[in-house]
C-alpha cells in the first residue's frame, strides 16, 4: 500500500505539469541542411554555435558559402565592459558587461531570410579592488553564460526560418 501511495504522490507533479502545457524543449528542427557561419576564427560565440549545430540532427556546418543552403553573416561580435557605478573617491563599485551579436541570415544567392538583427545582453556586477582576482573569474563566468544565452536565441531564430 505504501508503494502505491508513493507512486501516486510522485505522479501528481507530472500530471500537473502536463496539464498546464509545459513541455521540455527537444532537439530543434531546421529547414536547411547546411549552413556557413561567418564568425571570426577565434570567436567564442561562433565556437559555441558550431557545437550546438553539430548536435542538431541533419545539419552540417560548411566552410564555403557555395556549399551551404544558408549563410549566417556576422556583422558584429563582441564584449564590452564599463564602470557603471563609482564612489566619491573614484573607485569602481559596479561594472556592466555587454555581449553583442549582430547578424543576418541569407541564402547564397542573396535572398534574406533573417534581416539584420542585433542581440545585446547586459549584466551589471559589483566590484571590489580587494577581491579583484575573484571578481575576474566571476566576470568570466558571467560572460560565458551570456554567450550561451545569445547562442540559444540564435538557435531559436534559425529553427524558425522557412526556406
Alpha helix ranges (H) inside 30-104: 44-55
**What span, in angstroms and rounded, lies between the C-alpha atoms of 1 and 149?**
46
Q: What is the pLDDT of residue 134?
A: 78
**Gyration radius from the chain CA atoms:** 22
What range does the domain containing 78 cover? Answer: 2-159
Q: What is the pLDDT of residue 26?
A: 61
**What span, in angstroms and rounded, lies between the C-alpha atoms of 46 and 151?**
8
The residues with which 126 forms a beta bridge, in sequence order, are: 94
Number of domains in the chain: 1
**Which among 121, 125, 123, 122 has a CA at the least distance from the CA of 94?**
125
Is the entire prediction scored with pTM above 0.95? no
- The residues, any chain, with a CB within 8 Å of residue 122's CB and separated by 6 or more, are 96, 97, 98
Residue 55 and residue 29 in contact, taking contact as beta carbons nearer than 8 Å = no
Helix/strand/coil for 112: strand
Q: What is the pLDDT of residue 18?
A: 62
Helix/strand/coil for 91: coil
Going residue by residue through the chain, which has 163 residues, state the pLDDT in tens, using 9 for 90 and above. Answer: 567 777 667 766 766 666 566 555 566 889 999 999 999 888 999 999 999 998 888 899 999 999 999 999 999 999 999 888 878 887 888 889 999 999 999 999 999 999 999 999 999 988 877 777 777 888 899 999 999 999 999 999 999 999 8
Indicate which CATH number applies to the domain containing 18: 3.30.160.150
Amino acid at each position: 500500500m505504501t508503494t502505491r501511495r508513493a507512486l501516486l504522490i510522485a505522479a501528481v507533479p507530472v500530471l500537473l505539469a502536463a496539464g498546464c502545457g509545459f513541455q521540455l524543449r527537444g532537439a530543434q528542427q531546421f529547414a536547411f541542411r547546411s549552413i556557413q557561419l561567418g564568425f571570426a576564427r577565434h570567436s567564442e560565440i561562433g565556437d559555441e554555435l558550431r557545437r550546438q549545430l553539430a548536435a542538431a540532427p541533419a545539419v552540417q556546418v560548411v566552410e564555403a558559402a557555395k556549399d551551404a543552403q544558408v549563410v549566417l553573416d556576422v556583422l558584429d561580435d563582441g564584449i564590452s565592459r564599463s564602470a557603471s557605478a563609482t564612489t566619491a573617491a573614484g573607485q569602481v563599485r559596479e561594472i556592466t558587461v555587454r555581449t553583442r551579436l549582430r547578424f543576418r541570415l541569407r541564402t547564397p544567392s542573396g535572398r534574406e531570410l533573417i534581416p539584420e538583427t542585433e542581440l545585446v545582453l547586459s549584466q551589471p556586477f559589483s566590484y571590489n579592488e580587494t577581491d579583484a582576482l575573484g571578481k575576474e573569474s566571476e566576470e568570466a563566468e558571467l560572460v560565458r553564460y551570456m554567450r550561451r544565452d545569445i547562442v540559444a536565441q540564435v538557435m531559436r531564430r534559425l529553427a524558425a526560418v522557412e526556406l
